[in-house]
Amino acid sequence: MTETDPRVFSGWPAEARAFLAELADDNTRTFWTGNAHRYRAAVLGPTRALASALTPEFGPPRVFRPYVDRRFQPTADPYRTDTGLTVAGPGGTPYVAVLSAQGLAVQIGHRVFDAGQLRRYRAAVAGPPGEALDEVLVALRRDDLVPDDVPALVRGPRGCPADHPRLPLLRWRGLHVDRAWPAGEWLSTEEPRRRVAAAWRAARPLADWLEAHVGPREQVGAPRRPPELPPDDRNSAAEQGGGPQVEWPKRVL
């Protein structure tokens, strides 16, 4: 069997990273048309094989499409310069793995909460479940899984005491942990599957917390009602994407 056999994951060939690097330098339809066969053989085939290898434990992941949706960003480059896959946990928490020319990365959690998720997240963090979240994040740091580039308010949410012991967590507008490994020959072995699976597995306590206290995102196409933001959060929403108000307890139990 070859390394692009969809039934077996044995890594991405060096050609995969070479293709992605060249695409980043020449992100045009002309380059894509002339090199699509390289994408299918060196990038798409192994990524599908990785998805198949992860399915028994995590469920069937969805492999990224190579095309950028330009309907809302017409000036963006037309093609992704990475590849990867994502699968949702039982409660909707995304598990993601991404290969680029620079290396391999994983992410577990929500990049940005919707209004309902943000309200539930703040209420949970302000109360006793926030203590459990602190413990989960401390434990994940031992596996080098850390929150990275999480969108946050400049100040705390409206009405939140400035001396709240979990103010840094309350400022976040999403919650995910990440880990990255630089490119090397190891990407052309079975090792990427082992690292992705180990990281996703280690992050399950965070996914469990999110599923218990935050829940899934609102389904696309479901009836939506604009969130009612307090005056100061309306201003911060325009500047930072702030969210709705929650009731703050007098003290943290």
Range in 37-41, 65-69, 94-98, 235-239 with the lowest mean pLDDT: 235-239
Q: How confident is the model at residue 73 (pLDDT cuts 50, 70, 90)?
A: confident
pLDDT at 118 exceeding the cut of 90: yes
Q: How high is the pLDDT of residue 237?
A: 42
Residues 6+ apart with CB under 8 A from 182: 102, 103
pLDDT at 40 exceeding the cut of 70: yes
What number is the average pLDDT over the span 162-179? 95
**Span 190-235, pLDDT tens digits:** 999 999 999 999 999 999 999 999 999 887 654 444 444 444 444 4
Q: How high is the pLDDT of residue 5?
A: 52
Q: How high is the pLDDT of residue 138?
A: 97
Range in 50-54, 140-144, 167-171, 248-252 with the lowest mean pLDDT: 248-252
Could you give the CA distance from residue 43 to residue 129 in angstroms, rounded to a whole number?
Answer: 41
Between helix 129-141 and helix 204-213 the angle, nearest 10°, is 160
Residues 6+ apart with CB under 8 A from 61: 51, 54, 55, 85, 86, 87, 95
> In the chain, what's the furthest Cα-to-Cα distance?
64
Q: Is the dihedral of CA 171, 174, 178, 182 positive or negative?
A: negative
Ordered by start, the domain boundaries in the chain are: 14-70+77-217+232-240
Q: Is the dihedral of CA 144, 145, 150, 153 positive or negative?
A: negative
pLDDT mean across residues, the chain: 87
Range in 5-9, 39-43, 54-58, 195-199 with the lowest mean pLDDT: 5-9
Q: How confident is the model at residue 112 (pLDDT cuts 50, 70, 90)?
A: very high
pLDDT higher at 236 or 50:
50
As its CATH architecture, domain 14-70+77-217+232-240 has 2-Layer Sandwich (3.30)
